[in-house]
């Protein structure tokens, strides 16, 4: 049996077990993939200061995120097509998050529906919304999230147009997979995945099919989706969403101080410093590099979180030290899910929590709330200027 010690172990197993089109969907970026790769490497440039002869007993990584208790400052990010990485993937990931005591976020473009997650979990979860042209469909989706007792709404702001993702184009990505010769050959090498998919009824975008007018199958869904991402998105639209929702609102996709300030004015309960995992604007800075300036500008007015490149508990600690009061993980969850299902997501979260806890101790602290940038080696982390 494979011994799993870190997220990279899960990624390697994931690559073996999941069809190529879905592996490439998760483990890639747009255009040259420069920003995608820099999200990870930027964390490695930041160095930690070790302390010794300090009491390391009774440690706690517990925090709150938009008023919700969490055992560590980590939430599962919204990831589209999660149910294509593993049968009923969103359900498995939500269950693992519930066991780990952290929030789970369901994507609009999920395979399992809002109602599926509500039926199979007992903890409140978050729902992520894309701004679509069809405001009636959006209003009804928000109403469904309310009915499912979702505790926060995550509005993604950086997908008005879709970045060019070369691997997805070459693979002919679709859900369910297109029956091309190349895809069929690759599927034949993934029997575990195929057996799982044969055992579930969830093979399409269940938040949309049957809920959106004139969308009843994958063909009509594709036609609807291609026209729906709204390039006209404005702060007035965000005010509309906030009014429709009426609860905790998290704005995701902030990379500039000016947008962070506008998000605060729009009433965001939290913002997520995010470049969409390097899947949108290639050539943008790493999320962790953009974080300090945004924290300095609005960190006393709203909760500032970040995502992008987090592959360990050390990355979480570094983000916290630079002012992030929460993080979101997508790929690390997907690696675990594709590798081992719910048990793999549980293992990923256990690895991240243990690394966070032990590294915090080595840096001389027993409470995450006492950690600041003083644990980082000067000159190795991004400054607030610029």
The catalytic site residues sit at 276
Backbone angles phi, psi at 301, to 5 degrees: -115, -25
Pairing of strands 270-273, 249-254: parallel
According to DSSP, the residues that pair with 302 across neighbouring strands are: none
Hunting for tokens 């390097």 — which residue is that?
278
The helix/strand/coil state of 305 is: strand
Cα distance between residue 374 and residue 2, in whole Å: 38
**CA distances, 322 to each of 49, 307, 338, 381 (Å):** 14, 13, 31, 8
- Residue 67, token pair as written in the block: 């008023």
Cα distance between residue 239 and residue 257, in whole Å: 19
Cα distance between residue 172 and residue 194, in whole Å: 18
The number of C-alpha atoms within 13 Å of 117 and in the hemisphere containing its C-beta is 34
Report the length, in residues, of the chain: 386
Which strands make up the sheet holding 270-273, listed edge to edge? Answer: 74-76, 327-329, 303-307, 270-273, 249-254, 152-156, 126-130, 105-106
């Amino acid at each position: 049996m494979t011994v799993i010690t870190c997220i990279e172990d899960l990624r390697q197993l994931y690559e073996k077990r999941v069809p190529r089109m879905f592996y490439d969907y998760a483990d890639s970026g747009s255009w040259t993939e420069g920003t995608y790769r820099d999200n990870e490497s930027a964390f490695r440039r930041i160095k930690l200061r070790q302390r010794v002869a300090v009491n390391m007993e009774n440690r706690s990584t517990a925090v709150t995120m938009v008023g919700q208790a969490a055992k560590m400052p980590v939430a599962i990010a919204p990831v589209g097509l999660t149910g294509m990485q593993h049968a009923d993937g969103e359900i498995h990931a939500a269950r693992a998050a519930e066991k780990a005591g952290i929030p789970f976020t369901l994507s609009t473009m999920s395979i399992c529906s809002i109602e599926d997650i509500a039926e199979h979990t007992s903890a409140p979860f978050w729902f992520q919304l894309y701004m679509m042209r069809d405001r009636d469909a959006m209003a009804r989706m928000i109403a469904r999230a309310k009915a499912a007792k979702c505790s926060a709404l995550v509005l993604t702001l950086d997908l008005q147009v879709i970045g060019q993702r070369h691997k997805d184009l070459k693979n002919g990505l679709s859900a369910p997979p297109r029956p091309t010769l190349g895809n069929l050959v690759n599927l034949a090498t993934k029997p575990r995945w195929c057996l799982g998919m044969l055992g579930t009824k969830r093979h399409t975008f269940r938040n949309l099919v049957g809920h959106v007018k004139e969308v009843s199958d994958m063909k009509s869904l594709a036609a609807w989706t291609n026209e729906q991402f709204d390039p006209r998105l404005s702060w007035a639209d965000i005010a509309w969403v906030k009014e429709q929702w009426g609860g905790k609102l998290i704005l995701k996709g902030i990379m500039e101080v000016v947008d962070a300030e506008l998000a605060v004015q729009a009433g965001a309960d939290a913002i997520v410093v995010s470049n969409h995992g390097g899947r949108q604007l290639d050539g943008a800075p790493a999320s962790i590099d953009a974080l300090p300036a945004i924290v300095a500008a609005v960190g006393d007015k709203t909760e500032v979180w970040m995502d992008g490149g987090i592959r360990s508990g050390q990355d979480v600690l570094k983000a916290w030290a630079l002012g992030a009061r929460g993080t979101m993980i997508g790929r690390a969850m997907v690696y675990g899910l594709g590798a081992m299902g719910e048990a793999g997501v549980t293992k990923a979260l256990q690895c991240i929590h243990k690394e966070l806890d032990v590294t915090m101790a080595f840096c001389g602290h027993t409470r995450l709330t006492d950690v600041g940038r003083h644990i980082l080696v000067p000159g190795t982390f991004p400054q607030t200027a610029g």
